[in-house]
Amino acid sequence: MRTVLVTGAGGAGRTTVAAATALATARGGRRTLLLTTDRLGTLEAALGLPAPRPRRGASGRIPAQPRDLADRRPGAAIPPAPWTPPVEAAPGLWAARIDSGEHFRTELLALQQRCSAALDLLGARPLDRDELTELPGAPQLALLYALKTLHESAAGAPAGHTGEPHARVGAEAAPSAWDVVVVDLPPVPEAVALFALPEQLRRYLRRLLPPERQAARALRPVLAQLAGLPLPAQWLYETADRCERELAAAQSLLDSDATGVRLVLEPGPAAAATLRAARAGLALHGMTPDAVVANRLLPTGSTDPWLAAVSGRQQGALKALYEDVATATTLCELPHIGRDPRGPDDLAELIERSGSTMLDDDRGAAGLVEGHGLADELDRPDGPRHDPRTVEDRLAAEGVLVWRLPLPCAERDELDLVRRGDELVLTVGPFRRIMPLPSALRRCSVSGAALADGELRIRFTPDPALWPRTPHGR
């Protein structure tokens, strides 16, 4: 299963591009699911669907996935995922919204149930589902969980492998019904924060609950019998184990070669700066955009002075975008059709108008699917993405090791580098990542760094007290 993550500048038309990409994929014969985290009905407007309205069951609560709509989805099984019921928007194309509130309530109540003994001991009054309101970060976690569930289903693994009651699927569960999942993500800063979330949370868990401390878990049942009460550490470590597995699966999905990122920009004064910041932020996490989409391009050659001036400024910004991407990725052009696309017919017009003029050089909405990227790469193996970070051995010539980190578009004055124990704290503009050092570099000290040709090269000098000596004492 192929996953396409669509992000870009705020207001640049990310939802329209995501919907056009999904529709073009479906028209190519691939079963496509279009997911969004937007709650304002932008996706429904682009697809020509009714505005979202809460659906309540007999209990007054919003059901997670009603049977009637779920049965319309390809595949018989109902996946335990935090989204609203997928609705068919066009032949082969289904759309759904991430229901982060329901996911947050379900997960928090499950955690409360697991630690009920400790809460009773403290005299705490349990929280009820109706009084729970999701906290910041819940939409990102719900989206990661949804993508993880879809990929596990595609791989044939039951979505309930963690043993959670709310995540259990019957034995009749079939592989995923989707060939392609297109995700309409928030703007670039929030999207990069989403990509960083699994690694950050796993680091926090390892620091707060070190795996080596779990060696004494075999003694806890004995201690619990002596104390007469279950010890909190038991459920705490079990919860940490579960979270670690969930986060590792989400991180593996983001690192997979079958996951691609599309950047959507509207050519203008800030487009080039947004593109450079986005590429640097993605590179910090080992990701490269599959394509950059220049959206809402006005026609050239107009006799109207105002329209000609605006189009001229767009073409100037477009030229700067071409210079920035060079050969690193493909720049796709989408024309302005004179109105905001509303429904499959408008999206189809966008695909056809762009494809008719730009299919030869793999651009346009259809080019996103057929000429470049999506369709051409759908059959790639779902394996880990190649890690461009390498350690170059220059010990013989210069007595150093060089860690090479690709950071295209990074600016020297926006770069900050700090060695902290066995980790490297790297900041590029508004983005920050804490990376564990390769084992060989942990026995070295940082002796210098340089940014050149879109690559950060950090020089490490072996520490004589830690570096292994040769048979001759060197």
Residue 177 has pLDDT above 80, yes or no: no
Beta strands at 2-8 and 87-90: parallel, antiparallel or unpaired: unpaired
- Retrieve residue 359's tokens: 């299919």
- Least confident range of 339-343, 365-369, 387-391: 365-369
Q: Stretch 329-341: mean pLDDT, rounded?
A: 88
In sequence order, the β-bridge partners of residue 98 are: 83
Residue 185 has pLDDT above 90, yes or no: yes
- Least confident range of 58-72, 219-233, 353-367: 58-72
**Chain centroid to CA 297:** 27
- Retrieve residue 343's tokens: 């429904």
pLDDT score for 380 = 46
Q: What distance in Å separates the CA atoms of residue 394 and residue 402, rounded to the nearest whole number?
A: 7
Band of pLDDT at residue 108, cut at 50, 70 and 90: confident
Q: Which of 44, 28, 145, 51 is nearest to 95 (CA)?
A: 44
Q: Which of 177, 222, 165 is nearest to 86 (CA)?
A: 177
Residue 45 has pLDDT above 50, yes or no: yes
- Least confident range of 111-120, 188-197, 442-451: 111-120
Residue type, 368: L
* Residue that the structure tokens 């640049």 belong to: 12
pLDDT score for 353 = 81
pLDDT score for 386 = 59
Count of other CB atoms within 10 angstroms of residue 111: 14
pLDDT score for 309 = 93
Q: Which of 406, 413, 419 is nearest to 452 (CA)?
A: 406
Q: Stretch 109-130: mean pLDDT, rounded?
A: 82
Residue 172 has pLDDT above 80, yes or no: no
Helix (H, G, I), strand (E, B) or coil at 328: coil
Count of other CB atoms within 10 angstroms of residue 307: 14
- Least confident range of 116-130, 227-241, 361-375: 361-375
Digit-coded pLDDT (tens) for 214-235: 555 555 565 555 555 555 566 6
Q: Stretch 143-170: mean pLDDT, rounded?
A: 60
pLDDT score for 101 = 86
Count of other CB atoms within 10 angstroms of residue 39: 14
- Residue partners of 138: CB distance under 8 A and separation at least 6: 100, 101, 103, 104
pLDDT score for 222 = 59
The DSSP symbol for 468 reads: P
Of all residues in the chain, what percent are helix, strand and coil, respectively (each to 5)?
Answer: 45, 20, 35
* Residue that the structure tokens 């619990």 belong to: 224
Of 282 and 468, which is predicted with more confidence?
282
463 neighbors 445 (Cβ within 8 angstroms): yes
**Chain centroid to CA 310:** 34
pLDDT score for 37 = 84
Digit-coded pLDDT (tens) for 298-321: 998 888 899 999 999 999 999 999
- Residue partners of 348: CB distance under 8 A and separation at least 6: 23, 27
- Least confident range of 27-31, 73-77, 167-171, 464-468: 167-171
Percent with pLDDT over 70 in the chain: 75
pLDDT score for 68 = 32
Average pLDDT score over the chain: 78
Residue 419 has pLDDT above 70, yes or no: yes
HSE, side-chain direction, 13 A CA sphere, residue 243: 23
Q: Stretch 342-351: mean pLDDT, rounded?
A: 89
47 neighbors 95 (Cβ within 8 angstroms): yes
pLDDT score for 182 = 94
Band of pLDDT at residue 236, cut at 50, 70 and 90: confident
- Retrieve residue 319's tokens: 């030229």
Q: For the whole prediction, is pTM greater than 0.85?
A: no
Q: Where are the beta strands (DSSP E) in 194-351?
A: 259-265, 291-297, 330-335
- Residue partners of 77: CB distance under 8 A and separation at least 6: 169, 170, 172, 173, 174
Q: Which of 83, 271, 276 is nearest to 183 (CA)?
A: 83
Domains of the chain (ranges; CATH) run 1-387 (3.40.50.300), 390-462 (2.60.40.790)
Distances (CA, A) of 459 to 16, 83, 211, 402, 410: 45, 47, 31, 5, 18
